[in-house]
Structure 1
């Protein structure tokens, strides 16, 4: 199981995570997020990090802007965390470097049937799914959804599990019938928004 650390804003912490061989580095390009990456880093900083798992997180952003940022920051993955539909995804793919992979997020609340419908009717060819806790803030809640819901789904893609993952609930992941491809950690491994607890991440990664 791979590890993604999301909501990164500090250069020294990112370099430390790269030295730890963390698989994915998540940069949030949603201006309303307290972890909006351009509040702490410049685009050239992100571009300069030598890593093959740089993920740009976007929420209902204009396609042209996503494409421009992906080029400027030299991103490897685009994570669509909003309400982007098939038309949006297909158009975005025409403007991206074909080597960039797309992660489509499904925010999970209580409506399982609606979630099943969305997954079954996603016609665009994305590379990964990501399941996160539903919220008006589009993530970063520190709250886990009921992971047993995943056992009610047919999941045709490898997926990232997100939303309130911590050392406390880590063992519950073994109860998911189709295990996640990767874990996406964020707020449970911070001292404040955007400031990561590297020792806590290191201990968790070793456990993982």
Structure 2
């Protein structure tokens, strides 16, 4: 039986639930965000720390409060989303805040993953792989990331001018498919995901390693606030489990 996102998962193995697809929503900054996402069907909530200039950057005190709020829902698993690369800093942060999932969103080398795996054996380690112009910038390091202890990859877009994260740029399905034979860990799909472009990824969503999606803008309304209808539409369209479906 697959563990729920909020439960502890075996280290160094498949991090996401083995069959159930999950919805990860990034950028929560307030308790109301946590409540909205939990009620609308999200499974994972990305909390930004160590992303200088990021629109959802959190100081440690607020990060700690939102981690506790997410755990209190009994549904949402908080995920640290960070550009930080010092293993000692990340280990201390995880222990102080109670974070169990860590997403390395920049170009941290495999040695960082290895050190985190040794220091945090029960953590779920997510490494972002950046695709640009049909190529994965970390492609030569994928095997090393896996051997170091990566549990889950997240496939996202890097723009030509170097921007990463929340770019709103959709990945072509063929670019994703060309990378998948290199992966032996499951993956989440990011990059301009919406309720409307699921049909653009028929072969990706059928892949046995596909574990769900990661979104930011598509979960918000026109004012930039998280929207329960938008989150529920994402969950239903991409065939993740939503709280509304579970109650019927």
Same fold (TM over 0.5): yes
For residue 170 of structure 1, what is the aligned residue in structure 2? 198
Q: Contact 1:9–1:40 at 8 Å: present in 2 too?
A: no
Aligned to 2:29: 9
Mark the runs of 5 or more structure 1 residues left unpaired by the alignment: none
TM-score, normalising length: structure 2: 0.74
Whole-Å Cα distance in 1 between the matches of residues 136 and 25 of structure 2? 30
Shift of 1:190: 2.2
Cα distance between partner residues in 2 of 1:160 and 1:68? 26
Structure 1 runs (4+) greater than 6 angstroms displaced: none
Shift of 1:192: 6.8
Match in the other structure for 1:190:
220
In 2, Cα distance between equivalents of 1:132 and 1:193:
24
Q: 2:89 pairs with 65, 88, 96, which one?
A: 65
Q: Aligned partners of 1:85 and 1:49: how far apart in 2?
A: 29
Of residues 128, 132, 136 in structure 2, which corresponds to 1:109? 132
Counterparts of residues 142-153 of structure 1 (less than 5 Å) = 142-153=168-179
- Residues 131/75 of structure 1: CA separation in 2 closer, same or farther (3 Å cut): same
Q: 5+ unaligned residues in a row in structure 2: which ranges?
A: 1-20, 240-248
Q: CA deviation at 1:105?
A: 0.7
Superposed displacement of residue 37, structure 1 = 3.0
Query: What's 2:57 paired with?
Result: 36
Match status 1:95 vs 2:123 = no
C-alpha separation in 2, matches of 1:4 and 1:165: 11
Cα distance, 1:7 vs. partner?
1.2
Q: In 2, Cα distance between the equivalents of 1:39 and 1:193? A: 26
- TM-score, with structure 1 as normaliser: 0.87
Conserved? CA contact 1:9–1:39, under 8 Å: no
Distance 1:204 1:17 in 2: 11
- C-alpha deviation, 1:80, in angstroms: 0.6
Q: CA RMSD in A?
A: 2.5
- 1:85 is matched with 109
- Give the equivalent residue in structure 2 for 1:159: 187
- Alpha-carbon displacement from aligned partner over 1:66-115 (angstroms, at most 9, x marks no partner): 1122122211211011111121111122222x211101110101253755
1:24-49 deviations in whole A, cap 9, x for unaligned? 11111123211113399352342343
Shift of 1:17: 1.8
